[in-house]
Chain A
Amino acid sequence: MSDTLLSVRGFSVMYDVDPPVRAVRDVSIELRRGEILGLAGESGCGKTTLAYGIQRLLRPPAVITGGDITFHDASGVDIDIDRLDAEQMLRFRWDKISMVFQGAMNALNPVAPIGKQLEDVFVVHRPKLSRAERRAEVTELLEIVKVGAERARSFPHELSGGMRQRVMIAMALALRPQLMIMDEPTTALDVLVQREILRQISALRHQFGFTVVFITHDLPLLLEISDRIAIMREGEIVELGTSEQIWTDPQDDYTKTLLASFPRLTGEKGVVAR
């Protein structure tokens, strides 16, 4: 089992609109097994496009114009994601890489109970399971994320924001993937709930050992939770380093600007001229 989980080489995405937009420009990065990689940047920098692109979830007018993505499976096999056919891609998805979306109202199907939406994953990926076994898996998942098995029959609009986010995490965890990509999972949540969700993710990582890519614009948050951080701007990674390095010795000017945009909670004042 190699140290690297995911190798991205020269990945580029373009939006075929008028004028065309180069959303991701020749991005290369090696994701290490077991790490938490923070992907920071402002809106439009390409971080979400990169995350979706890796899983081939982009839709027109987005076009992948180049690059290789290789997934180094735990079994030792190397999988070229960009070369999988449709059938293989369906099987690959969620099983090896899963995604936690921003759990706002729209990420869950409003007309189906959450238990059903969790079961869906098993129906498609583990067809050999009996109905009882599927239910057992769903129950276990709901208990792991502390939503409670009795909520399986609830609809998304009946749950609070924090609970919906936990359901999203349960869904991403269902097949025990090796990589979880989290796109602004705590942005819409209050700071207390956010902290609890992060604690949960940490506990789950310890239990199940998956790698995390955490996408957000909240740099102070990333500094606290990530091993390494990649700063993105206009489709490129302008800086990549450990969180200590980024904090104490940022190299790129944009990184410095971004750091300076967050006033210190307990440090020096003077950021806002009072």
Chain B
Amino acid sequence: MALRAQVATEPALPRRRHVRFWFGIGMLAILVCAALLSLPFNSAVYGQDITARLVGPSVGHLFGTDSLGRDVLARTIAGLRISLEISLVSVLIGCGCGLLIGAISGYYGGVLDALLMRVTDAVLAVPVVLLAISVIAVVGGGLVNLIAVIALTQWMLYARTARGETLVIKREPYVIAARSLGAKDSHIIVTHVLPQLLPTTLVLATLGVSEAVLLEAGLSFLGLGIQPPDPSLGSLLAEGQQYIVRAPWLAIFPGVVIFLVVLAINSCGDGFRTVLDRKR
């Protein structure tokens, strides 16, 4: 049996990986363009037409209409835009806070480090969805709270990684040189430590955006995120579940869009990771 010869090399066929990366970039570009181009068509997102309720996919309404006669295509794309906005902003916030906490924790060490890392461990121990819904239960839903809550579920991974890398960076000659020239700790962290953390962070943050999209969709699906009549990919699916027998297209199309956007973002993230690994 020629088993030895067929053993896979670690990155599954580099060329295929390349294809997947460009597929991700292309798909993401299409979806983002669609989301941006939909901005002027707000009337289609909210415009009701009681005479055309639950009409199946047709030329006039490519994705069909919902229980109030609204166009599902328009609502899905608007929902995609809202989901992407929320995810990007919350990842930026979570990533920024995480980097700062990790860099400070790793740079100063000692009691502060131990305390910050135990808090990180404790928050990591609560499952993401449960953490998010128990905070929303107390502070309430809405756009701002939703962004804050998703950021709250994101920062731990960046903090952990940043701390680990900072432990190495702070022993580098250029950091010791800067310190011996009398640079302040805050100056060293901002100009010497944080920029070094960016490549790894980019990979983590890309995958973080897709996690945020899924979490936002999940929370809105449970009715704890974006509130009607504003569309979100999750709340559209929740509506779709109600009409699953009469109008299955309501549940199918928004789900396809979530699937494609998450797949595209993950493919990009994997691509970035391959580049980063090769550089090391």
Partners in one complex: no
